[in-house]
């Protein structure tokens, strides 16, 4: 049933040339700004931008807030757990559980918990030669930059919904 619902939604809101152009511009802008600030893994900025870009700012905002909250929670818990207990499978499992508890306490959406867990995995499981604090802070800034660019472009480069255009056509409006 869920797949049918998703198919119907997709059929009502297919990608457009304008939407593709907005996403491409937003992704490139966020990548260039991340590079300008010499962020170590600048590619996370356009990935975050592409995740939060929607047709309207109203649609982008909830996803952006969930992504921001989840990334902050995951980066903080991941850095603290590695700092206190080192890296192991069991510490990672405990961190994922703690992130879930924290998200439940703050009553954030499950998608925020999903983003927190993804950030935990990136911070805790990918071997790097720098400190875990450096990794966590950079991950947070890279994703936050991508979210900010996605929100800004959604707000300033508006995309009219197909349904609104169809409704206006039936009313005889341009």
Quickly count helices (H) and strands (E) in the chain: 8, 0
What pLDDT does residue 138 have? 94
Question: How much of the chain, in percent, has pLDDT values that exceed 70?
Answer: 83
What pLDDT does residue 54 have? 80
Q: How many CA atoms lie within 13 A of 162 on its CB side?
A: 11
Q: How confident is the model at residue 57 (pLDDT cuts 50, 70, 90)?
A: confident
Using one digit for the tens of pLDDT, what is the confidence trace for 102-121? 999 998 889 999 999 999 99
Q: Where are the domains of the chain?
A: 17-158
Q: For the ranges 49-53, 55-59, 165-169, which has the lowest average pLDDT?
A: 165-169
Q: What whole-number distance in Å separates Cα of residue 19 and Cα of residue 150?
A: 12
Cβ–Cβ < 8 Å for 57, 156: no
pTM for this predicted structure: 0.79
């Amino acid at each position: 049933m869920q797949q049918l619902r998703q198919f119907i939604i997709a059929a009502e809101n297919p990608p457009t040339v304008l939407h593709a152009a907005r996403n491409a511009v937003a992704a490139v802008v966020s990548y260039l700004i991340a590079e300008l600030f010499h962020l170590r893994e600048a590619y996370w900025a356009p990935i975050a931008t592409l995740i939060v870009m929607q047709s309207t700012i109203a649609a982008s905002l909830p996803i952006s807030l969930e992504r921001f909250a989840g990334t902050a929670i995951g980066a903080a818990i991941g850095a603290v757990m590695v700092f206190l207990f080192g890296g192991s499978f069991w510490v990672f499992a405990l961190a994922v559980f703690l992130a879930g508890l924290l998200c439940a306490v703050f009553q954030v959406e499950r998608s925020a918990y999903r983003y927190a867990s993804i950030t935990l995995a990136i911070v805790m499981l990918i071997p790097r030669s720098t400190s875990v604090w450096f990794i966590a802070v950079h991950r947070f800034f890279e994703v936050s930059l991508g979210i900010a660019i996605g929100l800004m472009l959604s707000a300033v480069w508006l995309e009219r919904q197909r349904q609104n255009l169809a409704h206006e056509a039936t009313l005889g409006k341009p």
